[in-house]
Amino acid sequence: MNEQRKDILDMLAEGKITAEEAERLIAALERDQPAAAVVGARPKGKAKYLRVEVYSFDNGEPGRVNVRVPLQLLRAGVQLAALIPPRALERANAELHKSGVPFDLTQLKPEQLEALVEQLDEVTLEVDQADATVRVFCE
Amino acid sequence: MPQSVTVRVRRPAGRPVRIWVPVLPVLLVFSPLVVLAGLVAAVACLVYRISLLRALGTGWRIACALRGTQVDIGQGRTGVLVAFR
């Protein structure tokens, strides 16, 4: 919390200003400092790694999986999709269909996967359970 | 391209084992096998009608992008770490 916002909340707590006045002051403060608010934020598209962290507690012992994958590696891996022979894609499609996943892999273009990887740096996934925590994010 | 691969294995009993593998010297030592693998890959590309140049380019891009990859798996006092640096 920045100093000015804290001062406003202090004045509100001390009864020097009303809640409406505090709200107006905070709104004015946010209007004046839109750039400052994002200084600490990571610029879009600057993430370098995809991180997957899993912490669990199995059989009375703590377990962990900590994977760091460069996004560059994902981008390179996407190019592999273009190398898969059409025959293999058709067979994979048939198997997917048999398993109840009607997904046409031949329609999946490397450009689409590339766009997906580009947007990954905004993804943060957290799953919390009593005995396990999973976190997927970019850094 | 990664300069080295570090593998660390921790076991409940005994000291942890740490192996540091310098990639380039190892590739040079195993260069005959690397050439053989390249030939097999080239034949596979021809059989499956895949552009050899494209496959080589993609393989090179993947090898270059490996740097920074780290996999750390542990359970209790047992653990394995593989890091490409």
Q: Is B8 on the interface with A (CB under 8 A)?
A: no
Q: Are residues A88 and A130 in the same domain?
A: yes
Residue B28 in tokens: 């040079």
- Partners of A58 on chain B (C-beta within 8 Å) are 75
Q: Are residues A77 and A130 in the same domain?
A: yes
**Distance to chain B for A109, nearest Cα, Å:** 16
- Partners of B49 on chain A (C-beta within 8 Å) are 85
- Partners of A114 on chain B (C-beta within 8 Å) are none
Dmax of chain B from CA atoms?
51
Q: Are residues A61 and A107 in the same domain?
A: yes
Angstrom distance (rounded) from CA B53 to CA B40: 14
Residue A7 lies in a domain: yes
The pLDDT assigned to A37 comes to 46
* Closest of A69, A1, A129 to residue B83, by C-alpha: A69
Q: Are residues A81 and A109 in the same domain?
A: yes
Give the model confidence (pLDDT) of B46-65 as tens digits: 888 888 888 888 888 899 99
0.80 exceeded by pTM = no
Give the model confidence (pLDDT) of A96-111 as tens digits: 999 988 888 888 777 7
* Closest of B6, B27, B28, B5 to residue B18, by C-alpha: B6
Q: Are residues A73 and A25 in the same domain?
A: no
Contact A73 B48 (CB under 8 A): no
Q: Are residues A17 and A57 in the same domain?
A: no
CA distances from A15 to A3, A10, A11, A12, B14 (A): 18, 9, 6, 5, 65
Tell me the sheet residues that pair with A20: none
Residue A81 lies in a domain: yes
Contact B62 A76 (CB under 8 A): yes
CB B84 within 8 A of CB B66: yes
Low-confidence ranges of chain B (pLDDT < 70): none
Residue A42 lies in a domain: no
- Name the residue range of residue A119's domain: 49-138
Q: Are residues A70 and A105 in the same domain?
A: yes
- Residue A45 — pLDDT band, cuts 50, 70, 90? low
Residue A44 lies in a domain: no
Mean pLDDT score across all residues of chain A = 79
